[in-house]
Structure formats: structure tokens, C-alpha cells
A = this chain, B = another copy of it.
Amino acid sequence: MSDNEQNVIKVPEPSLRRLPWYLSNAKLLKNKGEHFVSSTQISKEINIDASQIAKDLSYVNISGRTRVGYDIDDLIAVLEDFLGFTNMHKAFLFGVGSLGGALLRDSGLNHFGLEIVAGFDVNPELVGTFINGIPIFHSDDFQAKMLEYNVNIGVLTVPIEIAQNITDKMIEGGVKAVWNFTPLRIRVPEDIVVQNTSLYAHLAVMFNRLNFNQIK
């Protein structure tokens, strides 16, 4: 079964979000010298129901053996492939401010399949420079650079005032998926993928829970 055919299944988002946990867990167990792992073992480690784990893993092309479980090397390889971490996906980043610059410097993203190949900004002090070896172009050059690079992901780290406008331009230029780090809910056509990662929303949840624990 090819990578493409395999991924054609639209896996439910909660399952997709749990798969990286199983991957991390398998890597840890491999480091400890283990060769096989069962869903029951993973279940004990990460406190998720074993039947849920088995169900999540059923979306992935792997089958365990009775009593011994999954071969750890196979499980790691299959999960990394399925999650898209082995294929490099090229992306442009829009808005080289504080968070944008930080993401350009995070080479860890490379190990999980994302290669940011260029940044875009209008700040004359940034345009023409490099961060972590990645060139920063003027936002006006985006359309031309789309023809030059083979990119279909846009990372959005601009101020909220221009977030929708830049999103529209990205999509007009051919971007198919937007990784939105702004706290703004952007509007896109139906066939465009949006992944919201709002660090600030996560902070708000954490502060509220912390406050709650301290008062109760």
C-alpha cells in the first residue's frame, strides 16, 4: 500500500493527536532495550485505555502478534511514516516577528517533517537577511517565490490586524494549508486546511486551572 493510499483515510482528530504519544512511548521503550510492546503496556505508561490504543493503531498499517504485541522498530517506522514525519513538507512563514523568528530558529521542526524554506516580512531591516540560514524576503515577492519553491504550507505569525488579509493572499498564491499561530480565527475556503496553534489560548487555560487549584 502506498503512502498516499494509506493516508487517504480521514483519521478522527483525537486519534491523530494521540498517535504521537504512542510514537514517543515506543521510542522510549526501544531506548530501554525492549523489542516488543503491547497496547496494554502503552496503556499503563500513558494512562489511556488499551482498547482505545488498539483502535487508534488500527488506522495505521500495523498488526500486533498475540501475547508479544507490536514489533517496536516496525511500530516506530510505521507511525513516523503515517504521521508524515519522514516526508519533508516545505513551508513559507509569514511575519518574522518575535514568534516567527523563534520558529525559524527551531530546527526541531525539521525532524517532524516541516522545512520552513523562506520567511516573509515588510520590515526593511529583516528583508534580505537570513535567520538560521533561512532567507527573509519582502512580502511583495511572495507570488514570485511561490513559482520558485515547491511549497503548499503557510505558517502564519503576523499581527492579528493583517492575519486575514495575509491568509487570503497566501491562498490566492496557492497555499493549501495554513498553520495559524495567531489568536485570530481565520476564514478560509472549504478545501483549505487550517491548523490552529494558539500558544496564548493554551496559556489562558493553564492560568485558569492554576488559579482554580490555588483557591479551591
The dominant DSSP class at the A interface is helix
Contact A7 B208, beta carbon cutoff 8 Å: yes
Q: What 1/0 flags go to A81-95 for Cβ under 8 Å of B?
A: 001110101000000
- Assess whether A109 is in contact with B19, with CB atoms less than 8 Å apart: no
- Is residue A174 contacting chain B, with contact meaning CB distance below 8 A? no
- Taken together as a complex, chains A and B put the C-alpha atoms of A81 and B97 apart, in Å, by 25
A177 at the interface (CB under 8 A from B): yes
- How distant is A83 from chain B, measured CB to nearest CB, in Å? 4
Q: Does A176 contact B (CB under 8 A)?
A: yes
Of the stretches A65-73, A122-130, A133-141, A192-200, the one at the interface is A192-200
Q: Is the CB of A28 within 8 A of B112?
A: no
Q: How many copies does the complex hold?
A: 2
Neighbouring B residues of A21 by C-beta, 8 Å: 183-185, 201
Which residues of A pack against B, CB within 8 Å?
4-5, 7-11, 13, 16-17, 19-21, 23-25, 27-28, 31, 45-48, 83-85, 87, 89, 97-99, 101-103, 105-109, 112-114, 152-153, 160-161, 176-177, 179, 182-185, 187, 191, 193, 195, 197-216
Q: Hey, which chain B residues are within 8 Å of A106, CB to CB?
A: 98-99, 102
- B7 close to A112 (CB less than 8 A): no
A26 to chain B, nearest CB (A): 11
A193 touches B215 (CB 8 A): no
Return A46 CB to nearest CB of chain B, in Å.
Answer: 4
Task: Establish whether residues B208 and A27, one from each chain, have CB atoms under 8 Å apart when the complex forms.
Answer: no
Contacts A27-B160, A99-B108 given; indicate if A16 touches B205 (C-beta within 8 A).
Answer: yes
